[in-house]
């Protein structure tokens, strides 16, 4: 799905059928190819938003995306322009659900504000 940040425009751009789960590497290749096609058509792709499903987490691993406390990486070099980056985000409803589940199941939530602030100094 392609969705504009500045307008209400959204457009499905591809649907793929598979026998069983898609491998993270295959999904990464499809995403990179799709970005290239959209950019060649005049669209500007700056962000990818997905839920936290296991296949999307595998995609993030394939692209080098990490949200660990020790190593945070939320962008990749743009496949169509080395001077740009593409930022990866998990959608807000799933992030809120994950925090809620962590609090319900583990009764705790660990956040290191120092490490987060240090990353953006």
DSSP annotation string for the chain: -EE-SSSS-EE-------SSPPPHHHHHHHHHHHHHHHHHTT----EEEE---HHHHHHHHHHT-EE-SS-EE-EEE-TT-TT-EEEEEE-HHHHHHHHHHHHHHHS-----HHHHHHHT-
Confidence of residue 102 (pLDDT cuts 50, 70, 90): confident
State mean pLDDT over 62-85.
91
- So what's the pLDDT on residue 42? 93
pLDDT value of position 77: 96
- Which residues, including other chains, have CB under 8 Å from residue 32's CB and lie 6 or more apart? 79
Tens-digit pLDDT profile for residues 7-59: 898 999 888 888 988 899 999 999 999 999 999 999 999 999 998 888 899 99
């Amino acid at each position: 799905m392609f969705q504009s940040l500045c307008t209400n425009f959204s457009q499905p751009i591809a649907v793929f059928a598979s026998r069983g789960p898609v491998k993270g590497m295959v999904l990464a290749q499809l995403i990179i190819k799709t970005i290239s096609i959209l950019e060649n058509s005049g669209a500007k792709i700056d962000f990818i938003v997905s839920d936290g499903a296991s296949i999307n987490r595998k995609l993030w691993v394939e692209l080098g995306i990490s949200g660990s406390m020790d190593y945070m990486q939320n962008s990749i070099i743009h496949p169509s322009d080395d001077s740009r980056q593409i930022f990866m985000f998990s959608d807000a409803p799933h992030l809120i659900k994950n925090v809620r589940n962590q609090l319900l199941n583990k009764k705790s939530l660990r956040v290191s504000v120092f490490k987060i602030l240090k990353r953006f100094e």
